[in-house]
Structure 1
Amino acid sequence: MKKIVYSLIICFTISQMISCKSEAKKETETTKEEIKTEKQAAFVLQDANNSINWVAYKTTEKIPVKGQFQKVNITAGGEGNTAKEAINNAEFSIPVSSIFTSDTSRDFKIKKFFFGIMDKTELLSGKLVLENDSIGYADLTMNSVTKKLPFKYTLNGKEFNLNATMKISDWQAQNALDSLNTACKDLHKGADGVSKTWDEVALTISSIFK
């Protein structure tokens, strides 16, 4: 009788151990599936083909000077079931070191005599807010000043395009603009002999989702 009871206890213990292992395995598999699901957003802004182009202006005749930032990091948000969800409320940072104008001398001067004069100049940062299907704004931080930058945008399928015009003085950076103009005095001189760097930059940003 004792042997029978003992055998029953052993069988029960083994069955409980197998059951626990099975449940633990199920929980692990479920957890892995949940993590996998969380990472599978249909639209991921960081993985999109992002480009940030700008146009500044020099001389009285307002001659355009084109450039771009070659790197942007999405620091918060930036994912969603639609392109609009991924873009709306996405936070970003742009390293100033990624500036590119096809002229290394100009790049150096912009970094040193323009951004280098500003406060906390290593990064530009902000947050994108889409107000409706055609307009929005960016809470853009530059020179330790955060201001709203209104923009117009289009969204066709997987392609997002934004256009905005910013005034440098709105970010209290007139001294940085003056510094750049002094460094480029002769290069920013027009036919009238006046050296001028405009307080206006046009921005064109596009994101093409994969």
Structure 2
Amino acid sequence: MKKSLVAVLMAFTLLSSANASEKTGCVLAQSGDVEVSWIGYKTPKKVGVGGVFDKVAYTPVTKEGENFRSILVGSSVVIDSSSVNSKHADRDAKLAKFFFGMMKDKNINAKIVDIKADPRVKDAPRTGVVDVEIEMNGVKKVVPMTYSFANETFEAKGNIDILDFQANSALKGINEACFDLHEGKTWSEAGIGFKMKILATLCKTK
């Protein structure tokens, strides 16, 4: 009888320990808004002009999880392209009208479809590649973006070609509207990026 009681108590202790371990394991939690940035290029010297979008509706697949894959893959954003902001009112008005206004839909949709981590390096930011499906001008493309994570900030950057989204008329429109300022050259290549806060508790963040 005593042996049976001891066995039950040991089993209960082990179960309690396992539950406690699960509750104190790795937790990654998304915090705050997502910032979506861009950079375009003008003039034959390929001068960069950057900015953000002020209206970004972010839908996380979940707010907390044990790794980047669990909290990011499946998350999506809807970007109102008319909210383009380069901190230059005249430029923003032209971009909204002659570039984004020439596309089939003012919204740009994006969804994270995969993420791959690089091998960890001690005392260095976590890095890897995040694949993002972008739908713009009625065309969907999966774009690989390199990411880094340090100081509770997850940041990803990549490049697209506007022509891959059949946005020839949009490129022509902004080039004509800014012909003199761009010295007759507006590049079809553009940089894209996003940034978010992720709080990490007892995590190796990989």
TM tier relative to shorter chain: 0.7 to 0.9
Whole-angstrom CA distance in 1 between matches of 2:145 and 2:170: 24
Taking the TM superposition and a 5 Å limit, the aligned residue runs for 1:180-195 are: 180-189=174-183, 195=184
C-alpha RMSD of the superposition: 1.9
Whole-angstrom CA distance in 2 between matches of 1:203 and 1:70: 15
Whichever residue aligns with residue 207 of structure 1, its letter is M
Which consecutive unaligned segments of at least 5 residues does structure 1 have?
1-40, 190-194
* Larger RCO (CA under 8 A, 6+ residues apart): 2
Whole-angstrom CA distance in 2 between matches of 1:107 and 1:82: 40
Question: How many residues align structurally?
Answer: 162
**Which residue of 50, 70, 83 maps to 1:66?**
50
Are residues 1:196 and 2:190 paired?
A: no
- Where is the helix percentage greater, Structure 1 or Structure 2? 1
Whole-angstrom CA distance in 2 between matches of 1:51 and 1:204: 8
Whole-angstrom CA distance in 1 between matches of 2:81 and 2:191: 17
Whole-angstrom CA distance in 2 between matches of 1:185 and 1:205: 29
Percent of residue pairs identical? 30
Contact 1:43 1:83 in 2 (8 A): no
2:188 match: secondary structure: coil
**TM-fit CA distance, 1:49:** 4.2
Whichever residue aligns with residue 158 of structure 2, its letter is A
Equivalent position of 1:43 in the other structure: 29
**Which residue of 110, 125, 131 maps to 1:126?**
110
Q: Could you state the TM-score of these two structures normalised by the residue count of structure 1? A: 0.71
Are residues 1:171 and 2:155 paired?
A: no
Kindly provide the CA deviation profile for residues 104-156 of structure 1, in whole angstroms up to 9, marking residues without a partner as x.
111010000001111012x1112113331111211100001111111111233
**TM-fit CA distance, 1:79:** 2.2
2:116 match: secondary structure: coil
Contact 2:82 2:100 in 1 (8 A): no
Whichever residue aligns with residue 132 of structure 2, its letter is A
Which consecutive unaligned segments of at least 5 residues does structure 2 have?
1-26, 118-127, 200-206
Are residues 1:92 and 2:77 paired?
A: yes
Kindly provide the CA deviation profile for residues 19-45 of structure 1, in whole angstroms up to 9, marking residues without a partner as x.
xxxxxxxxxxxxxxxxxxxxxx9624x
**TM-fit CA distance, 1:69:** 1.1
1:209 match: secondary structure: strand
**Which residue of 133, 149, 166 maps to 1:155?**
149
Whole-angstrom CA distance in 2 between matches of 1:157 and 1:83: 16
1:102 match: secondary structure: coil
Instruction: List structure 1 segments (4+ residues) > 2 angstroms apart after TM superposition.
Output: 47-50, 155-158
Larger radius of gyration: 1
Kindly provide the CA deviation profile for residues 175-200 of structure 1, in whole angstroms up to 9, marking residues without a partner as x.
110111001111111xxxxx000011
